[in-house]
Amino acid sequence: MKKEKNTILPFNWQAEINVSEMCSIGNDFILVDTPFRLSAFDYPFKLDSNCMMISTRGSAKGTVNLKPYTAEAPCVVTLLAEQILEYQTFSVSDDFAGFFIVMSNEFFKSLNIHDLPLHLAFRDNPYLSLTTEEAETMTIYYTLLKRAISNRQNPHRMDMARCLTLAIFYGLNHYFQALPKEENKTRQRIIVKSYLDLVQANYKEHRDVAFYADKLRLTSKHLSKVMKKYSGKSAAEWIDDYVILEAKALLKSTNMTIQQISEEELNFPSQSFLRKVFQAGGRGSPKENKRK
């Protein structure tokens, strides 16, 4: 008998936010004017929604998919579904001020912005610095959004929310394309970024450094040397860290058992292999193991 596929449990944003501080269209589109603490983020948590933070004052720090970020206002931070946050590393300054737009995956997909350079950039770096004028423009759009969806008698408020949100993304895309391009990336930095991108996309099936070295046309020894020197972790340690973070997020935010996570999601031949990775503290991952 085929086991039922387990999925990420829905995150109830409305239960975490004071209703008086937000306006929304069901769980598909939520606007929040004040910073809020998400109790679910006390452990690594895989997002099932998309969130945009427009910061007008102060700063925020956090870790997304194992990468640390610091966002200084004025700026916009966009977190996408399937990314993993770690609340222990998250903090905001006392003078922080900003707005939050929370979008369900269905709403976000309906915007059809996946081909925009900005959307691809946000997967690598969720933070985009803004000028004061750009931040003021984003604030105007947010105010219009809030007015549009506050009128619950308007049968077109979802369409209005979609159009105004699209306007925000197209505006941000323009800001992004106007940024000066970095011309002097070193070969080593390119290797580090390319490796981390490959690991993030393939760690569930491929946990052998040789697989990634081959993709990058490098030897495993050279790849490991570069990663250790420029990222502080060896190539194998990065693979293990992604596996452990995914496992922790699934343990806390789904109803899946350890066996299901190990064998169905992470493609280990048994849960004992996953335990070895945890017991090693994220070191010395087993060689690549594909599901039989």
Asked if 212 and 195 count as a contact pair (C-beta separation under 8 A), the reply is yes
Task: Give the contacts of 114 (CB within 8 A, at least 6 positions apart).
Answer: none
For the chain, helix (H) and strand (E) counts, in that order, are 11, 10
In the chain, where the domains are located? 13-177, 187-279
Query: Which pLDDT tens digit goes with each residue over 227-262?
Result: 998 888 899 999 988 888 888 777 766 777 778 778
Task: Give the Cβ contact number of residue 90 at 10 Å.
Answer: 16
Residue with tokens 């925020």, as numbered in its chain = 60
Task: Give the Cβ contact number of residue 190 at 10 Å.
Answer: 12
187-279 belongs to CATH 1.10.10.60: yes
Query: Which pLDDT tens digit goes with each residue over 148-189?
Result: 999 889 999 999 999 999 999 998 888 777 766 554 457 787
Asked if 17 and 32 count as a contact pair (C-beta separation under 8 A), the reply is yes
Helix axes 187-202, 235-253, angle to 10 degrees: 40
Tell me, yes or no, if the pTM score tops 0.75: no
Q: Which amino acid is at 121?
A: A
CATH topology for 13-177?
A: Jelly Rolls (2.60.120)
Query: Closest Cα partner for 51 from 20, 27, 72, 68?
Result: 27
pLDDT at 184: 41
Residue with tokens 């697989």, as numbered in its chain = 211
Helix axes 187-202, 220-231, angle to 10 degrees: 100
Spell out, as residue ranges, where the chain has pLDDT lower than 50. Answer: 1-10, 40, 183-184, 282-292
pLDDT at 75: 94
**240 membership: H or E segment, kind and range:** helix 235-253
Identify the DSSP state of 230.
Answer: H
169/107 Cα distance (integer angstroms): 14
Q: Which amino acid is at 32?
A: V
Tokens of 112: 């059809």
Query: Closest Cα partner for 285 from 222, 254, 243, 245?
Result: 243
Tokens of 109: 């997909």
Q: How far is CA 107 from the centre of its chain?
A: 17
Reduce the DSSP state of residue 56 to 3 states and report it. strand
- 44 preceded by a cis bond (ω within 30 of 0): no
Q: Could you tell me which residues are beta bridge partners of residue 32?
A: 22, 100
